[in-house]
Amino acid sequence: EDGGPEDFNLDEGMDNTDLEDLDSDAEHHRQLTHVPGPQADVAELRAALSVVQRAYTECHKELRQTRKALFEANSQRSKRSRNASSKSNSLTTRIEQEAKKYLLLYHFFIIQSLFPAALNPNADRRDPAWWKSQDGKLKGTLTELYEMIPVDLHESMVTYKQFGSVFVQAHGEERSNVLKVIKDCAGALFAPYNISLDLFTGKPTCKKDNKACLALLKKDGVGEYTHFAPILFADPKQMVTGGFLKSPILVKVICVLMFGKSILTENKHGWPPARGQKMGVLSVTEGLIAGACILVQFLLSHDPELSATGAEMQVNYRSEYNFYLEKLFKASPWAVSMMNFFNQEVFRKGSQLANVKSKVFANVEQPCTWEDEFLDELDN
């Protein structure tokens, strides 16, 4: 009544086949564990040995099958792991390649809130209104990023959590690499301006009070730094509207980035292919011109590193870059002439903008500055 051990039935729920298997296993186990006595005859010893040999053979066979199954399982897991790793590495490599292109052709500095990337806002960066607010700049920059990034990576821009960090890191590293390329040939670039090579091989502080450098950074070498550094003009001593951004050194910097250092001495494309050749660049971009402006001014400065704001001179390079970019994006007669000029000088061809009618946007009221008046003269 109390459900004691006598109520437990080992055979309950088992059919005859199961019971026969148990009996067979028990008999097999008995045979294996049976040890012939010291008085056992030869026949009994042989029988016991035969049982052990068969058991060993079966056990060895099962072991081989188990090892094979384990090896196949590990191989499949390793293959899946390699495929996943290969896919991840491939995606990382592509992101890094696009970041390098973005640095060179589109934007020298990344807007802080650009990542994680939102969906494409489809803004028009040539609309002056987009430049009047941080939100407008972000939307315009994000639209440009979507236009630059291949379509098959658009989904990864939003869903891949590491996209932004990989992109930003590669972008920063490429800026340092680009600067090194230009710095290595600074002597040849600045030779026509009588700038000593020692200024670029020594410590940056040696340029702080150098009159030759200051004369190329400031009007008459004195006063405040402005967007219109003399080095950016065709003739630094004649800062006239017709010569702004037509500096020979800007053309040379872009040529070096497109075709390599040998373009300066041998007037031919270098080998191995330079950045522009690897990327298949066939025409200049607004970002490429603006980036050249920043590189040239930085090399003349005594700032130790090229960052958004110079540590020593306190020049806001990001703001300078955005200024040139905005003016070139206006698609004004002056901007179109600049694109034509650089395409002709670098690639020996006219700009595609020459055959594109500029869109008419609503006027955006803004304070009039000396810089705007200067560029208004270019437009007229």
Q: Give tens-digit pLDDT for 118-158.
A: 888 887 766 766 677 788 888 888 888 999 899 999 999 88
Q: For residues 241 and 377, is the Cβ–Cβ distance under 8 A? A: yes
The continuous run of DSSP H or E covering 335 comes out as: helix 333-342
Burial 241-277, CB ≥16 within 10 A → b, else e:
eeebbbbebbbbbbbbbbbbbebbeeeeebeeebbbe
Does position 19 have pLDDT exceeding 60, yes or no?
no
pLDDT of residue 85: 55
Distance CA 351, CA 339 (A): 6
Contact 95, 166 (CB under 8 A): yes
* pLDDT tens digits, 39-96: 777 787 777 777 778 878 888 888 888 888 888 888 777 666 665 556 567 899 999 9
Backbone angles phi, psi at 244, to 5 degrees: -65, 130
- For 295-330, the pLDDT digits (tens) are 999 999 888 888 888 888 888 999 999 999 988 988
pTM, full prediction: 0.70
Encoded tokens for 119: 């969906």
pLDDT given for residue 242 in this prediction: 83
For 92, the token pair is 């990382």
Is 12's pLDDT higher than 60?
A: no
Q: What angle do CA 204, 224, 338 make, to 5 degrees?
A: 85
Torsion of CA 125, 126, 132, 137, to 10 degrees: 10
